A and B are shown apart, each in its own frame.
Chain A
Amino acid sequence: QVQLQESGPGLVKPSETLSLTCIVSGGSIYTNYWSWIRQPPGKGLEWIGYIYYSGSANYNPSLKSRVSISVDTSKNQFSLRLSSVTGADTAVYYCARYEAPRHDAFDIWGQGTMVTVSS
């Protein structure tokens, strides 16, 4: 059974870069797309982007200028970098598997990690 686990700093200063990693266990990273989705406190979900094991990535246009998602197949993990953060980037960040072609959906999620942007 595939499981995902996010890790990274819980506090980031304004204007700095947020960095998170998601470890994929119980399955191979060589299939499906691997995603980041966030949820500000008390608000809805926002798709950040996803990446294939080959390195091909697709980002939310509203975040594209600040986002980078990378994959490390040797460690079975993928990472998120979000630059020039502000308080609006405070959120729970989830990593998720985008499974295709059966579901074509985000079918497995990590537990989420809270990131606060504050000085």
Chain B
Amino acid sequence: QSVLTQPPSASGTPGQRVTISCSGSSSNIGNNYIYWYQQLPGTAPKLLIYKTNQRPSGVPDRFSGSESGTSASLAISGLRSEDEADYYCSAWDDGLSGWVFGGGTKLTVL
């Protein structure tokens, strides 16, 4: 059971906008930055969003992050086939004094 809760799956068609949610608590999302990682099949995770809504260099602006209270969202606009991957949210948890992850959301591009 992951500390952060994500839907196990999401899907969309090319060009569509999809969002992936991440639910936590006041000890993690509610009080700290959120991070998103993209894991393409058979590869290591890659940093996609840092400090809730910032993109590392090289990440397209189709990807955006937001937060509201104890929940966060990753939005992907102009969906492309190469976006098909697992997406993980993460945050520091003050109560556990450690980094926690969501269980991951498998995004399928139909």
Is there contact, CB below 8 Å, between A109 and B46? yes
Stretch at the interface among B23-31, B68-76, B99-107: B99-107
How long is the Cα–Cα vector from A104 to B90 in the complex, in angstroms?
12
How many A-B contacts are there with CB distance less than 8 Å? Answer: 55
Q: Is there contact, CB below 8 Å, between B98 and A106? A: no
What count of chain A residues pass the 8 Å CB interface test?
19
Question: B56 contacts A107, CB within 8 Å?
Answer: yes
* Residues of chain A whose beta carbon lies under 8 Å from any beta carbon of chain B: 43-47, 58-61, 94, 103-107, 109-112
B interface residues, Cβ below 8 angstroms from A = 2, 33, 35, 37, 43-47, 50-51, 54, 56, 88, 90, 96-104
B8 to chain A, nearest CB (A): 10
Give Cα A110 to B51, complex, Å. Answer: 22
B47 in contact with A106 (CB, 8 Å): yes
Structural contact, B45 and A45, CB atoms closer than 8 A:
yes
Pick the residue among B2, B51, B102 that contacts A103 (CB under 8 A).
Answer: B51
Query: Which residues of B have CB within 8 Å of A110?
Result: 44
